[in-house]
């Protein structure tokens, strides 16, 4: 939606592509047609986002702020399928026809009520970050400090998307995406980027080097450094990139290459009588 907005909106893009913009006949904007148009509008507002650290893909809804690990289906999700779009989202998409149709029928609150759609209300905290890069940068620095306090390791880069979710800072993640994404926000803040070349973690040698660095930096904390870090230890340290790479290649394979042991879960206590 934002790419289309930067090009002047749907009408302008349609003209650039040689596509005839739709014209609605008189009387088109009744409640039945409004529901169909709103439903279609909400269903296309999912944005696919690739985490530059892990290569994982997430899906983010530009109105409701929902986040999914899997592609949403044609109807999106229960929340996006039953929510009323905001006027700012409709205008940003260049859908002035839909905007005027809603206004003609009493406005966003009234149309939402008649269609049985919930109105999305953004909290002031999120609104401040969406409207101010400085506010977003300030909260990002606070998040970096929080990660540092939790892990005991100095943070020089922005937390990953997964880390922000683990900390419950989804509003900050949404604001960062609004201001251009993690790489652009990091550049504007003067923070080193986390981005690695595409396919970086597919080369197991990169994982070997970075795991060794991770273990050496935590000398004495991981059972004498003879064990491969667990996925939970990597998660707690905020190293979701290593966690992803370890899952990609398999713990057994990596442990064998590095000459490390793997922690085994304690076997369940056998049930008495008959075992």
pLDDT digits over 181-209, tens only?
887 898 899 887 776 767 788 888 888 88
Sign of the dihedral defined by the CA atoms of residues 49, 56, 172, 66, in that order: positive
pLDDT of residue 15: 45
Work out the pLDDT band at 115, boundaries 50, 70, 90: very high
- Mean pLDDT, rounded, of the chain: 77
CA dihedral 168→172→177→182, nearest 10 degrees, is: -90
20-45 exposure pattern, b = at least 16 Cβ within 10 A, e = fewer: eeeeeeeeebeeeebeebbbebbbeb
pLDDT of residue 242: 85
Q: Give the predicted TM-score (pTM) of the model.
A: 0.44
Work out the pLDDT band at 81, boundaries 50, 70, 90: confident
Statement: residue 273 has pLDDT above 60: no
Q: How far is the C-alpha of 214 from the C-alpha of 200, rounded, in Å? A: 17
Statement: residue 163 has pLDDT above 60: yes
pLDDT of residue 136: 93
pLDDT of residue 222: 46
Statement: residue 13 has pLDDT above 60: no
Q: How far is the C-alpha of 213 from the C-alpha of 79, rounded, in Å? A: 43
Work out the pLDDT band at 55, boundaries 50, 70, 90: low
Work out the pLDDT band at 51, boundaries 50, 70, 90: low
- Both structure tokens of 112: 């939402």
């Amino acid at each position: 939606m934002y790419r289309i907005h930067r090009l002047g909106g749907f009408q302008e893009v349609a003209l650039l592509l040689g596509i005839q913009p739709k014209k609605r006949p008189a009387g088109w904007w009744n409640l039945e047609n409004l529901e169909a148009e709103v439903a279609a509008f909400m269903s296309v507002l999912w944005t696919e986002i690739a985490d530059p650290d892990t290569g994982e893909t997430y899906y983010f809804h530009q109105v409701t702020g929902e986040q999914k690990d899997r592609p949403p289906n044609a109807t999106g999700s229960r929340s996006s399928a039953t929510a009323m779009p905001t006027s700012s989202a409709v205008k940003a998409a260049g859908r002035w026809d839909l905007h005027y149709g809603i206004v003609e029928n009493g406005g966003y609150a009234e149309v939402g009520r008649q269609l049985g759609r919930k109105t999305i209300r953004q909290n002031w905290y999120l609104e401040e970050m969406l409207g101010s890069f400085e506010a977003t940068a300030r909260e990002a620095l606070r998040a970096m400090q929080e990660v540092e306090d939790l892990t005991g390791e100095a943070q020089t880069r922005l937390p990953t998307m997964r880390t922000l979710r683990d900390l419950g800072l989804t509003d900050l993640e949404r604001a960062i995406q609004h201001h251009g994404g993690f790489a652009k926000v990091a550049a504007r803040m003067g923070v080193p980027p986390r981005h690695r070349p595409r396919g970086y973690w597919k080369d197991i040698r990169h994982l070997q080097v970075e795991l060794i660095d991770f273990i050496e930096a935590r000398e004495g904390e991981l059972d004498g450094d003879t064990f491969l870090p667990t996925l939970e230890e990597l998660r707690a340290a905020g190293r979701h990139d290593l966690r992803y790479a370890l899952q990609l290649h398999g713990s057994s394979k990596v442990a064998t290459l590095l000459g490390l042991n793997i922690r085994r879960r304690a076997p369940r206590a056998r049930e008495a009588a008959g075992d």
